[in-house]
């Protein structure tokens, strides 16, 4: 049996000021095309379908078009979807019973009553049954009421309890679809800038992978760079597109998992995505960057190294580069300014907030604070409860 593992589509996402609608439509079409080529037995999407809990009409249309195209494949390929932390349960659930008729299974909330269980779908292959357990993103508070007091104290205990009550048949092959922050003992996954909400609570959301050690494969979403644990048995497949400049070197792909017979490690293959536009950093003097021959339609983060003052460099760059995300300066002047700023913020310097602000103002404005301004700043700082003398 083989299946596609995808996650973190983040449909509706913008990269800086650019809508990625076209880029996303292009990538979703590739998923459909590759499904035609490889004929997987299932397609798994492990959360963060939409970028926002209230998706735009355009985002809905994109996803709708994608599901429609998948459902038109013959023979039909079942699709398993869970909600991530970016998705709204109600909105993702819309029409889910209708979708089930097209073998599109959507799970948006963990069990809410003692009778409810994780959604489980069983498929067959030559070695027997494979059970797919869909576990949408959960916080301890979502499930605490199902257990005795003190049983659920954190993310890890919540997850352990939720899986235990499934009484899974470990003689059979089992696949978990999940959207959480998993760690391997103390090894955390590599993160990047587009996951701003991941582990924002200082690692309290970490769940050790031994909690999922009974599964034959764990299809994860949440972390945006592809990576594996436990001999490829536990895997983050990553986003289908680069969603931040920090991902410029990521290789985005569809993960194709081949499950063998019970007890054997799954085989992982990656089918690379071809993005409509790449995301990259470029660095050099304005003249160098304007004379370069590389593609002009990619999303670029530009660093200019010119020492001399430039006249509206962004305007000149825009003639050569269609999609500029940001333009920053890296020359001796900026480095000196940066150093001074860092110095001003260093505790060792023991500067009072007012002294630091005075220096900052001088640096930015090229003149000292007037008496009146200094008085106002002093008052504001006092209000903030800071020591200003
Ligand atoms: Mn995500």
pLDDT of 202 above 80: no
Q: For residue 354, report the distance from its CA to the centre of ligand 1, in Å.
A: 40
Residue 389, pLDDT score: 45
Q: For residue 145, report the distance from its CA to the centre of ligand 1, in Å.
A: 27
What CA–CA distance (Å, rounded) separates 40 from 335?
Answer: 52
- Give the mean pLDDT of 165-181: 96
pLDDT of 245 above 70: yes
Q: Residue 369: count other Cβ atoms within 10 Å of its Cβ.
A: 18
Q: For residue 204, report the distance from its CA to the centre of ligand 1, in Å.
A: 18
Q: For residue 335, report the distance from its CA to the centre of ligand 1, in Å.
A: 34
Could you report the per-residue pLDDT of 126-158, keeping only the tens digit for each? 999 999 999 999 999 999 999 999 999 999 999
Q: For residue 221, report the distance from its CA to the centre of ligand 1, in Å.
A: 7
Q: For residue 326, report the distance from its CA to the centre of ligand 1, in Å.
A: 23
Contact 21, 57 (CB under 8 A): no
284 CB-near residues (< 8 Å, 6+ apart): 292, 303, 304, 305
Q: For residue 195, report the distance from its CA to the centre of ligand 1, in Å.
A: 6
pLDDT of 190 above 90: no
Beta bridge partners, 17, equal: none
What global pTM score does this model have?
Answer: 0.84
Q: For residue 147, report the distance from its CA to the centre of ligand 1, in Å.
A: 29
Q: For residue 238, report the distance from its CA to the centre of ligand 1, in Å.
A: 9
Q: For residue 156, report the distance from its CA to the centre of ligand 1, in Å.
A: 20
What CA–CA distance (Å, rounded) separates 345 from 161?
Answer: 45
What CA–CA distance (Å, rounded) separates 301 from 328?
Answer: 8
240 CB-near residues (< 8 Å, 6+ apart): 6, 8, 9, 24, 27, 31, 252, 254, 273
Q: For residue 9, report the distance from its CA to the centre of ligand 1, in Å.
A: 8
In this structure, which residues have their CB less than 5 angstroms from ion ligand 1?
Answer: 8, 48
Q: Which of the residue ranges 71-80, 84-93, 266-275, 317-326 would you say has the lowest mean pLDDT?
A: 84-93
Sign of CA dihedral 98, 104, 107, 113: positive
Contact 121, 78 (CB under 8 A): yes
Q: For residue 86, report the distance from its CA to the centre of ligand 1, in Å.
A: 7
Q: For residue 95, report the distance from its CA to the centre of ligand 1, in Å.
A: 23
pLDDT of 326 above 70: yes
Q: How confident is the model at residue 198 (pLDDT cuts 50, 70, 90)?
A: low
Q: How far is CA 41 from CA 228, 366, 371, in A?
A: 22, 66, 74
Could you report the per-residue pLDDT of 72-103, keeping only the tens digit for each? 999 999 999 999 988 888 888 877 778 888 89
Could you report the per-residue pLDDT of 342-379, keeping only the tens digit for each? 877 665 556 788 888 898 898 888 889 999 999 999 88
Q: For residue 49, report the distance from its CA to the centre of ligand 1, in Å.
A: 8
Q: For residue 179, report the distance from its CA to the centre of ligand 1, in Å.
A: 9
DSSP code string of 298-328: SEEEEEE--SS--SSHHHHHHHH-SEEEEEE
Task: Output the average pLDDT for the chain.
Answer: 91
Question: 75 preceded by cis ω (within 30°)?
Answer: yes
Please report, rounded to a whole number, the percentage of residues in the chain having pLDDT higher than 70: 95
**What is residue 43's DSSP assignment?**
E
pLDDT of 293 above 90: no
Q: For residue 180, report the distance from its CA to the centre of ligand 1, in Å.
A: 10
């Amino acid at each position: 049996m083989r299946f596609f593992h995808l996650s973190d589509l983040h449909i509706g996402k913008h990269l800086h000021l650019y809508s990625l609608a076209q880029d996303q439509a292009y990538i979703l079409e590739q998923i459909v095309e590759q499904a035609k080529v490889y004929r997987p037995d299932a397609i798994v999407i492990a959360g963060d379908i939409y970028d926002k809990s209230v998706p735009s009409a355009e985002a809905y249309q994109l996803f709708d078009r994608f599901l429609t195209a998948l459902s038109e494949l013959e023979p039909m390929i079942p699709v398993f979807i869970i909600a991530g932390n970016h998705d709204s349960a109600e909105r993702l659930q819309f029409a889910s019973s209708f979708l089930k008729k097209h073998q599109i299974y959507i799970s948006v909330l963990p069990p809410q009553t003692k009778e409810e269980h994780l959604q489980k779908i069983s498929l067959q292959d030559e070695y027997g049954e494979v059970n797919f357990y869909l576990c949408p993103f959960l916080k301890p508070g979502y499930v605490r009421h199902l257990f005795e007091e003190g049983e659920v104290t954190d993310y890890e205990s919540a997850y352990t309890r939720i899986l235990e009550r499934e009484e899974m048949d470990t003689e059979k092959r089992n696949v978990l679809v999940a959207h959480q922050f998993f760690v391997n003992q103390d090894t955390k996954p590599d993160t990047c800038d587009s996951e701003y909400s991941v582990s924002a609570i200082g690692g309290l959301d970490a769940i050790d992978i031994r909690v999922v050690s009974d599964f034959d494969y764990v299809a994860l979403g949440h972390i945006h760079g592809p990576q594996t644990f436990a001999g490829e048995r536990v895997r983050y497949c990553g986003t289908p597109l680069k969603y931040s400049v920090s991902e410029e070197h990521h290789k985005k792909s569809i993960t194709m998992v081949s499950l063998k017979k019970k007890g054997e490690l799954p085989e992982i293959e990656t089918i690379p995505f071809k993005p409509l536009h790449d995301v990259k950093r470029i660095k050099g003097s304005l003249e160098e960057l304007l004379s370069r021959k590389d593609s002009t339609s990619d999303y670029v983060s530009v660093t200019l190294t010119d020492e001399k003052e430039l006249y509206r460099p962004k305007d000149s760059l825009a003639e050569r580069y269609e999609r500029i995300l940001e333009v920053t300066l890296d020359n001796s002047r900026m480095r000196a300014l940066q150093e001074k700023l860092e110095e001003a913020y260093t505790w060792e310097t023991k500067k009072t907030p007012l002294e630091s602000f005075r220096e900052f103002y001088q640096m930015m404005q090229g003149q000292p604070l007037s008496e009146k301004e200094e008085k106002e700043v002093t008052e504001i700082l006092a209000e903030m409860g800071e020591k200003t003398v």
